[in-house]
Each structure stands twice: as structure tokens, then as C-alpha cells.
Structure 1
Amino acid sequence: MQAVFENTVRFEETDAQGVVFYGNYVTFQDEAFTAYLEAIGYPYETLRAAEWDVHVVHVDLDYRKPAEFRDRLHNAIRVDAIRESSIEFDYECRDDDGDLVADGGLVHVAVDESGEPTRVPDEFREAAVAFQETPPDPV
């Protein structure tokens, strides 16, 4: 999986134990999602201009190794499957040594301007397939 978002752990992202507070990994996932859109040539502004959006409906994370203040993290995300109206992502976060810090997934549902589920546009599907070494599962 290709890293699309890198960040350095800020002091405010750590907890009393001196490690990244677990909830911050959801933010890292979200930043990776936004960076993924850019990387595939389908930035969020393009998504909105095409009159659709996404809502997160599921987040899954497993914590493998603590990250601490000033650690550099490499966040990778890829589309695992594109269904009719949902997009399933795999996510992983690694440190500078390449060790797995956290992994999991998330699911977005495509919605139209009224917030109702809609088909994931073909342009997005094509961009994801073209970008990834391993293409997503088809509908």
C-alpha cells in the first residue's frame, strides 16, 4: 500500500501515557482519505463539483505499536472495494522504521446533494482503478 499522507506526531496528539491518543488515528485516516483523492487526480473539490459527497458509516482500527511525540507517521489508504453506493478502504499507519503502528479500514457511502445514497460515479471508480497497483473489487 502506498503512503499518501505523512505527519509528525504533535504533542497535543498524545495522552497522559505519552503516546498518540487512539482517537487521533481516525483523524489520520481522514487526512489519508483526502490525500488519496488528490493522489488519484479526483480531489474533494472535483467530488463536490460532480454533485456528490461521502459520509463515513464505519471505522475500524487495530493498534499495533504506540507512536510518540515527534514520531513521523506514514499513512496509506487504498480502495478495497467499490459497491453500488459504498467505498471500502483499507488503511495502515507505519513509522519511519516501517513498523505497523495501526491498521484497519473505513467505509464511505456516496450521497447526492440531498444526502440520499447514490451510485459511486464511474469517473471515481476509474481513477481508483488506474491509481492502485491492486485494483479494488468490482461491484
Structure 2
Amino acid sequence: MEYTLKVKWGDTDAAGIVFYPNFYKWMDEATHEFFSAIGYPTDDLFREHIALPLLEAHCEFKKALEFNARVNIQTTIVLIKEKVFTLSHQFYCEEQLVAKGYEVRAWVSTANGKPKAVAIPEQVTLKLHQQEEGEKNDK
């Protein structure tokens, strides 16, 4: 799945390059876009008392990005467990890898007021595996 954005002035620091926390914000945005693309928009999940909290995140920076740069984020599922999954995010600018990272998230029910990790539903797991296989076949 691909998500494209344009670096805004407010995304940069005093040196004129993207302030690093923005990469984490963009990984989060790409995750929401990813779930919409596979038919499970996170706002719908939220109304159904399902959340996808972040358990771990990491980003490795390869090249600085500046104001007005067009960034393409390629998001893929790399690991699916019973209640937890990992997404990989690769950031490209003009076809050059500028950063890469990952997020580990859980499938959580908030129905009883207290968040509790629950098994990812079979139909969602199937969609995630289909996306994973599609990405492997594209390579």
C-alpha cells in the first residue's frame, strides 16, 4: 500500500529539514490508510470498540527531507500473530529511500471500558495475509 504526502513548512526544524518525530506521525497516518485500503477503516473499528495501539516503533533515517518534498510511504505487513502485527514503512523521495521504519501494534477491544488485547478476527487476518502475499508477488 502506498501513501503520498508533501512536506509542509511546519514539518521542518530550524535547519530547514524534517523534524524527526514527523516520520512517526507519518507512519501512523500510513497505518490508518493501510487499514482503509484493506476494508477496515480505523474510524469504523473505533466505533466497534476496536483500537490498534502502538506497542513499539522504530525509524532509521537515511537522507534529510526538506520543505515541499513529495514523500511516498510504502507500507507492508511483515508479521501477523494472534493478537499483534508488525507493519513496515519505507519512505521514498524521488525514488530514493530516505527512511525506513516499523510499528508493532495490537488488536485491542475497548468494549468493557478497559483495553484488552484480543485475537485478530479471522477475516481481518485473511486480508492481512492477502496483502502480505500480494507484496511478495510484486517483488
Q: Which residue of 2 aligns with 1:104?
A: 101
**CA deviation profile, 1:101-122 (whole Å, cap 9, x unmatched):** 1101010011111201111111
TM-score (norm 1): 0.88
Partners of 2:20 and 2:51 in 1: CA distance: 27
Structure 1: 5+ residue stretches without partners: none
Measure how far apart 1:27 and its partner are.
0.5
Tell me the amino acid that sits aligned with residue 78 of structure 2. Answer: D
Partners of 2:46 and 2:65 in 1: CA distance: 34
Partners of 2:25 and 2:104 in 1: CA distance: 14
Partners of 1:129 and 1:46 in 2: CA distance: 21
Q: Which residue of 1 aligns with 2:31?
A: 33
| Contact 1:13 1:24 (C-alpha < 8 Å) held by counterparts | yes
Q: Number of residue pairs matched?
A: 132
Q: Which has the higher helix share?
A: 2
**CA deviation profile, 1:116-136 (whole Å, cap 9, x unmatched):** 11111112111222234146x
Matches within 5 A, 1:32-111: 32-95=30-93, 97-111=94-108
| Contact 1:88 1:107 (C-alpha < 8 Å) held by counterparts | yes
Partners of 1:67 and 1:50 in 2: CA distance: 38
Choose from 8, 16, 19 the match for 1:18: 16
Q: Which residue of 2 aligns with 1:126?
A: 126
Tell me the amino acid that sits aligned with residue 8 of structure 1. Answer: K
Over the aligned positions, Cα root-mean-square deviation in angstroms equals 1.5
Task: Using the TM superposition, name which of 118-127 and 63-72 deviates more.
Answer: 118-127
Structure 2: 5+ residue stretches without partners: none
- Identity rate of aligned residues, in percent? 23
Per the alignment, in what secondary structure is the counterpart of residue 15 of structure 1? coil
Partners of 2:131 and 2:107 in 1: CA distance: 20
Measure how far apart 1:48 and its partner are.
2.8
Per the alignment, in what secondary structure is the counterpart of residue 24 of structure 1? helix
Partners of 1:75 and 1:112 in 2: CA distance: 28
Partners of 1:48 and 1:125 in 2: CA distance: 18
